[in-house]
Structure 1
Amino acid sequence: MNKIQKFEKVLGVCCWGFIALLSVSVCLAVGPDFKIDNILAPDIMVIVLMFLLSIYNLVRWKYVSNKFVYTEKVFDAFRIIEVVLVSIFIIGSYQYIEYCILIVPMIFSSLSRGRKLSFTLLGISILIKIVKGLISYFLIDGYTLSSSGLLNHLLSLAWVYIVWISLINITSAFSEQNYKNEKENQRLVVELGEKYEQLEAAQNEIQIQYDKLKESNHKLEDTNLRLTNSIAEFYTLQQISEAIGSIFDINELLKFVNDVIIGVMGVNYSTILLFDHKKNKLKVHFTNIKDKEDLAILGDNINCKFLVDILESEKPILENNVVPDKYDFIKARIIGSFICIPLSSKSRKFGLLLIEHKNQNTFNKENLRLVTTICKSVSMAIENAELYASMQVLATIDGLTGVFNRVYFHQKLESEFNTARESGYELTLVILDIDYFKKFNDTYGHLFGDVVLKSVVQTVKNSLRSTDTIARFGGEEFVIILPRTSIKRAYEKVEFLRQKIADNVITDNLVSASVTASFGIASYPETSKNLNEIIKDADNALYKAKDNGRNCIEVAKDFDFNR
């Protein structure tokens, strides 16, 4: 209805124009000299029509402005009122104006509502025209109109109505076509709306599928990332496990672990701190910190309460927003994040692993979990390495005397001999044998014999340097390795040992006795040229000492001290 309401308002404007046109026509009919006598009945009717049209136009304007009141019935009533008013009140010389005015509502009706209303209006106009003609013929004209005049009048009316009917048919055809077009447009709009709704539904479905696909893709990416991290973790742990299984030296193992952590974690610094149980403090064992000043600061502050508490509680710490002033051990170094993990087993606390990065927010829980797992493996490896080292020591120690056994002696002598040859210094070997040891066993029993062995060994050990080595060669024979010692200096030292042993009174419960020992000395390169020769020469010198009455010292190959 909005479109028709707009046309209705335009028609209202035209109505005011018609009123103005009628006013002009009345003025022209009355003439310039306005007199009451000059106003005829047609003029009066037109004046009344103008008044009624003015009221009608105002009422129509009110209705047209209210879309809830303006309906098709109101539209039809307005058209009928227009036709009735114009058809009744325009008479006489104004009939051509009537034709001009009536054509507008009829065409408007034809365009808006089709033929039916237009022909109804035309019928009303014709009916009023017929009534007006009869009244004029019988009452006013008094049968004065001739037959030919009446015929001409009827023909004129016929032509007018034929033109009106033609215009109505033409405009109705346009109206019907326009109506069909509007219906078609409405149908197309409905179809387009349905298509749009279908397209929108399809688009929503596509969006839902896209969101699901996107979510699945995110899950897949997350799964791939976790899988990649898991593979990297597995590879790292596999490397460390292989190292634990193949590297028994604790220093070599910890260096390897430190290098792996730096490579895998991509950190700036990795430091392994081991706890010295004798000194009761942490010490830097391995680190990739190269700057001496930074290393000194770290070494001076690693026994701070923060790190000691981590070791004691055995709880790892992850710090992603480091405040340098809060941690003494990182002063002078730019550190944004660090992880500190204790190295411990059920029985012991070995130390700490400290990994550091210059950037903040570098580490996450997965990194902490991985490093914790590595530290558990390393702790087990340290424990195994210490156990292995203990077993190695036990395997090289004589169970009775506590000194090294013959196996270790040969390894040590070979190592010292090679070093002496490469460095060009002297190496002296001493073999001692306790005189008449079998007699002690037979006289006082094997238990006392064991006491004699221990006492002699302790006497010798108390007189040796830290670089010297004593080992049990077999039975009551012992060997002493003296690095960087000439044969002359060795002779003086052995003489001191011989006298010390002879002066010592061995007591066990109620049994007391003194023992003596015989010594054979050989030296590289003074008496012997190779490893086998130095052992053989010292052994021959020992036998010579025994042949010469025991409790004496003999030098290999009758070495001349004066040369």
Structure 2
Amino acid sequence: MGRILQYEKKYIGIYSGTLCILFAYMVLFFNEMKEDQLLILGISMIFFVFLLTIVLYHFKYFDRINIFITLKYINLFSLGILFYNENIFILVTASLCYIMICIELILTLFQEDITKRNRMFFFTFVPMIICSFVLWFAKDLNWIQLLFLIQFSALLFGIYKIIDLNGDEMREKIADGIKLWESSQHSNQELLSTQNEVKIAYQQMEKQKMDMEQTNKTLNRITSEMYIQNELLRYIGSTLELDQLMDLVTDSIIGAIGVDTCSLIIHNVEQDKYYFKTKTNYNVDIEQQLKNALSEGNLAKYFSEKNSHIDSYVNTSDYPFIQDRPVGSLIIIPLIRNNSIYGLLISEHASTGFFGETNLQFFQSIATQINIAVNNASLYTRMEEMATKDGLSGLYNRRHFQKMLVDLFNKIKEKGTMSVTMFDIDKFKNVNDTYGHLFGDEAIKMVSRIAQKYALLHGGFAGRYGGEEFVIVLPNIGLRDSVEIMKNMHNELKKEPLYYNRDRLVYINISIGVTAYPDFGTSAEDLLNRADNAMYYSKDHGRGKITVDDINLNE
């Protein structure tokens, strides 16, 4: 039935053009035609049937052959009414449309058997003959019109024979083609059999190729993983810098494993400080996203669960730290030391299902090597601190402090400024004698904590110079500003209580001496001596006060 719709679509296009011309003719000569009621009836039926054809075509009613044939016969009857009109234009138009509908019926039923096709063709004469006889009795038709009917019938018959003969030739060619096709089937069977054998061999080769590619990928992955592990082991033995270690880990994983993003977070428990390192293929500040997630508590879950986390089908809304980048697979490995989590190793890939069991084993082995490196770095840091810092106060010891002071002085002596403040705890011997040495240690810790606070707050450093003596150095701060800072520190320290036996409050005081370069002093040692003299001036003149260096102070 698709062929009927195809022919009908072309017919509607051609027929609509013919009817447009007919409609234009009616508009121009309506006054001459309006008296001929039979003409008006015929033309009205033609237009009605055409509109009905368009509607039925649109709703695909032509899938039913009976509706299609019935509509065409109604159309032929409508045209037959106009056959004997005296108007030549109307007669020619009706004849052309009649021929066009007959051709459409013949072509539509061309594939039917010959008996049905011939019967259908002769039925195309019926509307013309019936209309002719009716008009003959209703009107006085002449023999010329009868001859026109005969001539027109002959024309239709000729058109049918031409189409039928052409169809016979086509059917013969099709039959010859079928015979040729059937004769080639036997040889084709052998060809198909050979083709199937080649196809099977090709499939086997493809499978072997895929297996080899998979094996090659596995070997490459294992080689890359071994390379990374060897690099980490070599690095662990050659350096103790945490930042460089984090750089190596993230660089190696993103380069060798092929992930899109690798992040490493390490928590320094002693300093309560987090270190972040991220390498990514995207132009996104992932490190800041991780910092935000940490501060908002969105990473707390992974810092509390000791099991590795793998998500092969990531929904980014589940991970607040994944923004502005495609992530299909995610793996999070906890870094564990002394049975507590101190860091996370995070890797991402845009594809789903990227991480598997083999990847998990690799990342866990990397985590183990990171643990070794971090432990070595922590041990080294503690040993270094023992060599540079005072064990009780946590401040720089005298030897290291003096080295730092000399380095700073050499750096700023040409056109810089710095201040040096020295102070000690008033009547510290009485404190030890009255409350004991353990309480005295607590006093030293409290003073050290406040001194360190003010030193770091203003970009300087503090040291324990002797038993109860302390020094603060503030670079790029002059004498006047330094005195104001020391006043604030002094006031805070005097108000800080120490508890003796949990129920008795004890307050301590300090004597302070302040000097500054380039106002005074010509060397680092000279500055220390002047600050020491100013401090002793405070002790000798009532204690608990600040003495500012003066040119006459040492005289």
Give the TM-score normalised by the residue count of structure 1: 0.48
Q: TM-score w.r.t. structure 2 length?
A: 0.48
Larger Rg: 1
